[in-house]
Structure 1
Amino acid sequence: MTQRANNPVSDLHPEGFTHIDAKGEASMVDVTEKAVTAREAVAEAYVEMQPETLRMIVSGEHKKGDVLAVARIAGIQAAKKTADLIPLCHPLMLTKVKVELTPELENNRIRIETLCKLAGQTGVEMEALTAASVAALTLYDMCKAVDKTMVISGTKVLEKKGGKSGHWQMASDSASVQQDVSQAEVSLQATNEATQGSSVVDVRFFAGLREALGCEQISVPLDSDSLTLAEVKELLITSHADWAEALSAKNLLMSVNQQMAKASAEVKAGDEVAFFPPVTGG
């Protein structure tokens, strides 16, 4: 008698394929008897691109307008249309859809995080994934003419809550985390050594602002332990009067150590400050 091989699908899910009936035919899962519970899912995706492409998006210089705003709306719309795109998904009455797009200048990419919530009888993982995927595709579509090397990656569910299985969260890759920590420590040490005894802030200008000022990078001396971004800008205007108009533009974007920041953000010696032109509408 032939021994039956282990079935990895059954091992993962005691009921096997839940979207296939006894006849082996595709079937939407019957959730009629399931309890209504609060359900939530978080997903993410990344769009990697050339540094200049990312700066163009952040500075609002793209001819098609506000790329991030369009991608955000596309992601929200996609979550609501998931059942129309994935054949066996249930149409859901979502009570919340959130799409966040965060430029990561240090990694030349945009991180997309989506959140979907409802009170219902089935989970919202597919809605969160669809939102992340379509937001990423929209970014690609709007920028493909200027950057054909863009890569969409890392699309996955980070967390889900509710239902019979309860709370689940993606386990972090400890080896990867440790590597990131080590690299961060090395980078911090190098920065400390490079700025030891120095009381300056490195300031960079991007996109149209760089052309307007005729300058890409400059060092600003500190007269105190720290300044705010607003004070750094005033120092630049004081020392370069012809920069006043460009640096006083409404909605000027600023960052500290490659993280977008407000004018009140604190800046210390050795920090890197960047200024971007205002974001345009679209």
Structure 2
Amino acid sequence: MTDTSVLEATGLGKRYRRKWALRDCSLSVPRGRVVALVGPNGAGKTTLLHLAVGLLAATEGEVRVQGETAFLAQEKPLYSGFSVAEMLKFGRLLNPGWDDEFARRRIDELGLSLTSKVGKLSGGQRAQVALTVALAKRPELLVLDEPLANLDPLARHDVMRGLMGAVADTGMTVLLSSHVMSDLENTCDWLIVLNGGRVQVSGDIDELIAGHRVLSGPVDEAEAVARRVDVIETVGSSRQAALLARTEPVPLGPQWTDRPVNLEELVLAYLRRPDAANLPRPTLATA
């Protein structure tokens, strides 16, 4: 495992009876990144996260993690009968590296009372308490499975703002899954796309965006243009075609325009074409 990676998977797979939930998964999560894990329902996202934090045993391959890991499930498991103070005490007793000063300061900054019962809090407040418990462990890797599910837009924004503040303060690595691209576009800098239980895309988001263009022009010229670039997706009408292609800016005819893609366009184009992939080239060992 390299010093620049906090999580590495090699040939990782998980099978339930005859069905593979994850198969031949090889990836590396760089240290200090905020990683978006995206894919359709049933793609294997939760399985991958559970394997990474040790909640599941792999059927094949291996996954390795460096340093302390904290995991926050979609259900945000908290004891509803506990007060906020009791939840913090529970976290302190279970985690040797617990930062109690940080936890209490964060709860105070959120305007929450330590005497409030968890079960009486709003969904956004419970999410903030759960995130506080995870962050106070001072992990090197924080794994979040759909952390914003079932929250209203304001609560989603507040949770993500708190998370990004913690990342800026600590430099920890975050691996989070979400179905909402707008939650990820302005916060994440590394992308992993899972599709059909396999890794389809993995890389720096800025580099992925820079390496793809949307080319638009006459539909009767689209086939000729497609021979010059690696087309991921084609959308067209009777007159105009739009090609989302893996290419640097390329000179085209006067009737053609090109523009950068956005993250949502990129992800959806690959998900619609499961046979396409954009993965790092293998690193060759040298003597």
Instruction: Provide TM-score, normalisation by structure 1.
Output: 0.23
Instruction: Provide TM-score, normalisation by structure 2.
Output: 0.23
Larger radius of gyration: 1
